[in-house]
């Protein structure tokens, strides 16, 4: 087996919308620069994700200089959205967390509503350094997170995906495989480790940046959504339920909390510290 190495970096500017795979990305205390700094919500502030709207897989967001984004989706003209002026905040709900955010404005809301076919709002996380603390049972008091589900970064490995696809091929929904890595929406993908090794990691260094690994990632229905078509199947949850549980959770990948900052680059060495 070759030495562990960083295979890919992924940034998703809008939560649950397709992102991009740059060759490098800056690591901030709350996640990769620009990652999940925007979220779509219902008018009452509740988040909209692929859990409720698998069609979000067909939309894409790309970062623009200055923190803005370019939104694209089938049937709509692209829309550039600048970081909104801080003229007031609204409360958005990310799972159990109530988070203050800044509305993106009427044009962005209309674009998102047209695409989804329901009334929607686009909101920006203006101050990630203090808006949303990480769950205190897995973090230090001053650690925060973006609009990501729970932790600043998600790591997956190519070996675990290969192992999962081998299990899917032996199961009763083999026609759904092999699955691509985009089903799991990772921030960093690692080559050169054994399948499922990441489950037991507690600290890891990628390049010159150190991370804590608080717990493996419990997976949800989004992983069953084909990111090219927005159609749903049974896999990988059916196979994870049979072959890769930790307690009650169906897991794939490892969550990360940065202990230092810097820049990740594809090809960086990966060292397992604990």
Query: Among the listed ranges 41-50, 87-96, 251-260, which one has the minimum average pLDDT value?
Result: 87-96
- The DSSP letter of residue 242 is H
* Tens digits of residue pLDDT in 217-253: 999 999 999 999 999 999 999 999 999 999 999 999 9
* Cis amide leading into 53 (omega within 30): no
- Give the predicted TM-score (pTM) of the model: 0.96
| Averaged pLDDT of the chain | 97
Q: What average pLDDT does this structure show over 155-163?
A: 98
Q: How far apart are CA 157 and CA 166, in angstroms?
A: 15
pLDDT class of 1 with cuts at 50, 70, 90: low
Residue pair 136/150 in contact (Cβ under 8 Å)? The answer is no
Q: How far apart are CA 52 and CA 171, in angstroms?
A: 27
Q: What average pLDDT does this structure show over 254-270?
A: 98
Nearest 10 degrees: Cα torsion 126, 130, 134, 137: -170
* Tens digits of residue pLDDT in 100-148: 999 999 999 999 999 999 999 999 999 999 999 999 888 999 999 999 9
* Tens digits of residue pLDDT in 192-220: 999 999 999 999 999 999 999 999 999 99
* Cβ neighbours around 119 below 10 Å, total: 12
Measured in whole angstroms, the distance separating CA 256 from the mean position of its chain's CA atoms is 12
Of 130, 125, 136, the closest CA to residue 91 belongs to: 125
Pairing of strands 97-103, 121-124: antiparallel
Residue 234, CB-side half-sphere exposure with 13 Å CA sphere: 11
Residue pair 106/22 in contact (Cβ under 8 Å)? The answer is no
- Could you report how far apart the first and last alpha carbons of the chain are, in Å? 19
Q: How far apart are CA 247 and CA 199, in angstroms?
A: 13
Burial class (CB in 10 A: 0-12, 13-18, 19+), 236: buried
What percent of the chain clears pLDDT 90, i.e. is strictly above it? 96
Q: How far apart are CA 265 and CA 22, in angstroms?
A: 9
Residue pair 70/108 in contact (Cβ under 8 Å)? The answer is no
Query: Is the pLDDT at 259 greater than 90, yes or no?
Result: yes
């Amino acid at each position: 087996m070759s030495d562990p190495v960083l295979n890919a970096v992924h940034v998703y500017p809008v939560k649950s919308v397709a992102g991009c795979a740059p060759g490098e990305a800056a690591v901030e205390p709350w996640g990769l620069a620009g990652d999940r700094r925007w979220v779509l919500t219902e008018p009452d502030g509740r988040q909209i994700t692929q859990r409720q709207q698998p069609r979000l897989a067909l939309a894409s967001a790309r970062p623009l200089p200055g923190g803005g984004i370019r939104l694209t989706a089938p049937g709509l003209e692209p829309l550039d959205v600048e970081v909104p002026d801080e003229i007031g905040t609204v409360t958005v709900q990310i799972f159990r967390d109530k988070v203050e955010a800044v509305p993106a404005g009427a044009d962005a809301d209309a674009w998102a509503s047209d695409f989804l076919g329901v009334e929607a709002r686009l909101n920006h996380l203006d101050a990630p350094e203090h808006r949303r603390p990480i769950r205190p049972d897995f973090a230090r008091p001053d650690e925060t997170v973006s609009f990501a589900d729970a932790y600043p970064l998600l790591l997956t490995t190519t070996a675990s995906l290969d192992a999962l696809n081998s299990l899917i091929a032996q199961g009763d929904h083999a026609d759904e495989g092999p699955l691509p890595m985009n089903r799991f929406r990772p921030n960093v993908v690692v080559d050169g480790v054994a399948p499922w090794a990441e489950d037991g990691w507690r600290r890891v260094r990628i390049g010159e940046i150190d991370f804590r690994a608080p717990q493996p990632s419990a997976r949800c229905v989004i992983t069953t959504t084909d990111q090219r078509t927005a159609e749903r199947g049974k896999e990988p949850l059916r196979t994870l339920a049979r072959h890769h549980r930790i307690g009650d959770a169906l897991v794939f990948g490892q969550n990360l909390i940065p202990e230092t900052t810097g820049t990740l680059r594809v090809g960086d060495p990966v060292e397992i510290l604990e």
